[in-house]
Amino acid sequence: MFWSDNPGVNMSRDFEAVIGKDIVIKGEIEGTQDLLVEGRVEGTVRLQSELVVGPAGLVDAEVEGPAMTVEGQFNGTANCGDLITLAAGCHGTGELKAPRIVIEEGAAFTGTLNMETGIQDGRGE
Amino acid sequence: MADTIIGSKTRVNGVISGRDRLVVAGLVEGQVAMEADVLVEAPGRVEASVRAQGVFVHGTVNGEVAGAAKVEIATDGRMIGDVRTGRILISDGAVFKGRVEMDVTEG
C-alpha cells in the first residue's frame, strides 16, 4: 500500500511513551509526556502533552490534553487546550473541542467541531 | 517493530493486552496480559496481575505473576506477590516477597 512507504511525520519523532501495534489498553491513561498510539486504546486518555494516533492506531476514548494529532482512527470526544489535527488519511468520528482544529485534505471526519471562538454561530441570533 | 513503552511520566489504569513486548518505565495499575515479554524498567512500577512470556523486573512489581515462562528479578528489582513460572532468576540485591510456584513439566 502506498502509505507503507510513507510512515508519516511522527515516525521521525522520538516518543518516550508508545502503545505498539498489537497492544490493546482498556482503561485510563494519564501522563505528562507525548504518547504515540499505534495499537488500540479504549477508555480515557488525560495528558499534559500531545497524543498522537499513528497511522495504525485506533483510539476509542475520551481525550483531554493540550494537543492531539490523528493519523489513524479516532472515535470519541476530545477536549484539547490548543490544537487538534486530523491528518490526511485519518478517520474520525465524535466531538472535537479545541481553539484550533486542523483538518487536512484527505482526512475523513463525521461529528461535531467546537472551536470555542466565543463567536456565536449566528443561527441563534 | 517498536515496543510498547509506558513512559516514566505516564500512568495506565486498566487492562493491557497484546502480542508486542511491553516496557514499563511509568506506572501500570490493573491487569497485564501479554503474549510477549514484559520489562519493568527502573523506576517503573506495576501494580497489577501480570501474565506474560517473560517478566523482567528492574523496577517494582506488586501483584501476581502467572503463566510466565521465565521471571527475572534484577539487582535493582523489587517484587511483592506470588509467582508461577517455569524458571525464576533472582539476582543478588533483588527484593522479593511472595510464593514461588514452578511449573515442572519436564518430559
Residue of B nearest to A17 (CA): B7
* φ, ψ dihedrals at B56, nearest 5°: -115, 115
Mutate to test the interface with B, among A10, A11, A29 (most CBs of B within 10 A): A29
Q: Which residues of B touch A29 (CB under 8 A)?
A: 10-14
Pairing mode of beta strands B78-80, B95-97? parallel
- Give pLDDT, residue B101: 87
Residues B69-76: contacts with CB under 8 Å, at least 24 apart = B76/B42
Instruction: Please report which confidence band the pLDDT of residue B45 belongs to, taking 50, 70 and 90 as the band edges.
Output: very high
Yes or no, beta carbons of A29 and B2 under 8 Å apart: no
Alpha carbon of residue A125 to chain centroid: 32
For residue A121, give the 3-state DSSP assignment. Answer: coil
B59-to-A26, A97, B18, B62, B96 alpha-carbon distances in Å: 23, 38, 21, 10, 12
Q: Which residue has the higher pLDDT, A36 or A120?
A: A36
- CA-nearest of B87, B76, B75, B45 to B63 is B45
- Give pLDDT, residue B100: 86
- CA-nearest of A67, A106, A68 to A90 is A106
pLDDT for B28 beyond 90: yes
What is the rounded average pLDDT of the residues A25-52? 96
Instruction: Please report which confidence band the pLDDT of residue A118 belongs to, taking 50, 70 and 90 as the band edges.
Output: low
- Give pLDDT, residue A125: 39
Distance between CA A90 and CA B55 in Å, rounded? 35
Residue-wise burial string across A45-67, b where 16 or more C-beta atoms lie within 10 A, e elsewhere: bbbebbbbbbbbbbbebbbbbeb
Least confident of A84-98, A104-118, B79-93: A104-118
* φ, ψ dihedrals at B62, nearest 5°: -115, 110
Closest by Cβ to B10, choosing from A22, A27, A33:
A33
Residue pLDDT, tens place only, A85-95: 999 999 999 99
For residue B73, give the 3-state DSSP assignment. Answer: strand
Q: Which residue has the higher pLDDT, A2 or A107?
A: A107
Share of chain B above pLDDT 70, in %: 94
pLDDT for B10 beyond 80: yes
Yes or no, beta carbons of B14 and A32 under 8 Å apart: no
Domains of chain B, residue spans: 4-102
Yes or no, beta carbons of B2 and A31 under 8 Å apart: no
The CA distance from A76 to the nearest CA of chain B, in Å, is 18
Residue of A nearest to B32 (CA): A25
Q: A32, B9 in Cβ contact below 8 A?
A: yes
pLDDT for A52 beyond 70: yes
Yes or no, beta carbons of A31 and B7 under 8 Å apart: yes
Grid coordinates standing for B38? 514484559
Q: A80, A61 in Cβ contact below 8 A?
A: no
Would you call the peptide bond into B43 cis, given omega within 30 degrees of 0 as the criterion? yes
Mutate to test the interface with A, among B11, B12, B41 (most CBs of A within 10 A): B12
- Give pLDDT, residue B7: 95
Complex-level ipTM? 0.71
Mean of the per-residue pLDDT values of chain B:
90
- Give pLDDT, residue A4: 40
Residue pLDDT, tens place only, A28-41: 999 999 999 999 99
Residue of B nearest to A20 (CA): B4
